[in-house]
């Protein structure tokens, strides 16, 4: 809950939670858009992320990790 009194900065924690959730959804979107299934010479599946998509995905993964860590620290702070 946002107005929980046990969190010192509830709106800052909420903003980190929302940012982390949105960046994780972005990572899932990039992975799903770059998924492939190939039946040439056998059956293979995979994810091929290259170029600008790789840079954006790295940024989103880093944002997710930092947001989760900041949210954890804000939750522990009393």
**Tens digits of per-residue pLDDT, 9-63?**
889 999 999 999 999 999 999 999 999 888 888 898 999 999 999 999 999 999 9
The pLDDT of residue 4 is above 70: no
Q: What is the pLDDT of residue 41?
A: 84
Q: What is the pLDDT of residue 38?
A: 87
CA-nearest of 8, 60, 10 to 31 is 60
Q: What is the pLDDT of residue 52?
A: 94
29, 49 in Cβ contact below 8 A? no
The model's confidence at residue 1, banded by pLDDT at 50, 70 and 90, is low
């Amino acid at each position: 809950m946002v107005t929980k009194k046990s969190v010192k900065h509830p709106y800052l924690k909420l903003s980190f939670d929302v940012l982390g959730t949105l960046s994780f959804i972005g990572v899932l979107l990039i992975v799903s858009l770059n998924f492939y299934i190939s039946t040439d010479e056998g059956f293979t599946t995979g994810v091929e992320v290259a170029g600008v998509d790789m840079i954006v995905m790295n940024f989103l993964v880093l944002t997710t990790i930092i947001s989760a860590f900041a949210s954890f620290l804000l939750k522990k702070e009393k």
